[in-house]
């Protein structure tokens, strides 16, 4: 006899979701079709979503979690850091179930990794690899590192403490943001891709422009880093990026205008 338990597994899991319970009760109590029940459910979300979003209570699948506040200096020892309580969504119900069913466990874990990292960041906190591996997703730190690398290959940079503060061997998000800008992306698109604020993006681009202007005025790298108030390494990265990156015509014109005006004050 064929064991069909796996065939019905996804249906059984869906029965545990609140949306499914709601549509089931509509069908049973009002003799609705599935199509009608889902239409009513969508209407409820449309009308009451502002109240759902502003509710102080947590939704099913969420939890309170203590993370390091984004306000801490990267040089601050973890034991002395200010902490921030955030609400994270470990299980988003049907959304996660569809990913698990269609794309598998690895893609679900990466989807959750991206979601909880952004949720913490949007609430003023920063997760660490240790948080994610040992306390949230219950996997190895190397697994999380591989997931971060896979996301990076898709140009998805998660706002973890290491990437935001440029700690350890983390990627340099400043260089990536400037590269996006040189390729012609607007700040709003860069914000969506990197989860940095418009103000932070504008600041990175402004410092990049000043590095190039000073370099074209024949200042040495260590002098440029002092004037712009960035590290010598970052100043060199910015200049190398200017020399080697593909720059769209729009950005070339913008940089040429800057060089003509020589707005290089720190």
| pLDDT tens figures, 99-144 | 998 999 999 999 999 999 888 887 878 898 999 999 999 999 999 9
Angle at CA 67, nearest 5°, toward 125 and 74? 70
pLDDT at 60: 86
Which residues have a Cβ under 8 Å from the Cβ of 21 and sit 6 or more positions away?
Answer: 15
Higher pLDDT pick, 231 / 48: 231
Q: What pTM was estimated for this model as a whole?
A: 0.54
pLDDT at 10: 53
Backbone phi, psi, residue 66, to 5°: -90, 125
Q: What percent of the chain is predicted at pLDDT more than 90?
A: 23
Decide if pLDDT at 89 tops 90.
yes
- In angstroms, rounded to a whole number, what is the distance separating the alpha carbons of residues 227 and 215? 11
Which residues have a Cβ under 8 Å from the Cβ of 229 and sit 6 or more positions away?
Answer: 266
Mean pLDDT across the stretch 195-216?
86
Which residues have a Cβ under 8 Å from the Cβ of 79 and sit 6 or more positions away?
Answer: none
Decide if pLDDT at 32 tops 70.
yes
User: 207: helix, coil or strand?
Assistant: helix
Q: Lay out the sheet containing 83-89: strands in order across.
A: 83-89, 62-69, 125-126
User: 107: helix, coil or strand?
Assistant: helix
For the chain, where are the E strands, in sequence order? Answer: 62-69, 83-89, 125-126
Which range among 51-55, 91-95, 239-243 shows the weakest confidence by mean pLDDT? 51-55
Model pLDDT for residues 153-170, shown as the tens digit of each residue: 887 778 888 776 654 444
Per DSSP bridges, beta strands 62-69 and 125-126 are antiparallel
Q: For the CA atoms of the chain, what is the radius of gyration?
A: 24
- In angstroms, rounded to a whole number, what is the distance separating the alpha carbons of residues 112 and 221? 41
User: 69: helix, coil or strand?
Assistant: strand
């Amino acid at each position: 006899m064929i064991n069909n338990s796996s065939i019905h597994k996804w249906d059984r899991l869906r029965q545990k979701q609140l949306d499914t319970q709601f549509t089931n009760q509509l069908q049973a109590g009002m003799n609705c079709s599935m199509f009608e029940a889902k239409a009513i459910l969508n209407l409820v979300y449309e009308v009451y979503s502002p109240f759902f979003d502003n509710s102080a209570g947590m939704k099913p699948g969420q939890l309170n979690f203590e993370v390091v506040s984004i306000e801490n200096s990267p040089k601050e020892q973890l034991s002395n850091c200010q902490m921030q309580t955030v609400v994270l969504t470990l299980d988003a119900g049907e959304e996660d179930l569809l990913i698990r069913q269609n794309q598998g466990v690895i893609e679900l874990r990466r989807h959750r990794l991206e979601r909880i990292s952004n949720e913490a960041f949007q609430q003023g906190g920063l997760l660490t690899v240790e948080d994610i591996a040992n306390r949230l997703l219950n996997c190895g730190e190397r697994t999380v590192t591989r997931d971060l690398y896979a996301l990076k290959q898709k140009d998805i940079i998660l706002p973890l403490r290491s990437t935001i503060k440029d700690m350890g061997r983390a990627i340099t998000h400043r260089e990536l943001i400037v590269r996006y800008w040189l390729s012609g992306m607007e700040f709003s698109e860069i914000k969506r891709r990197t989860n940095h604020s418009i103000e932070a993006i504008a600041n990175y681009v402004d410092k990049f422009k000043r590095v190039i202007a000073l370099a074209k005025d024949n200042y040495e790298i260590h002098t440029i880093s002092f004037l712009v108030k960035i590290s010598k390494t970052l100043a060199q990265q910015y200049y190398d990026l200017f020399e080697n990156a593909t720059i769209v015509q729009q950005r070339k014109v913008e940089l040429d205008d800057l060089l003509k005006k020589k707005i290089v004050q720190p």
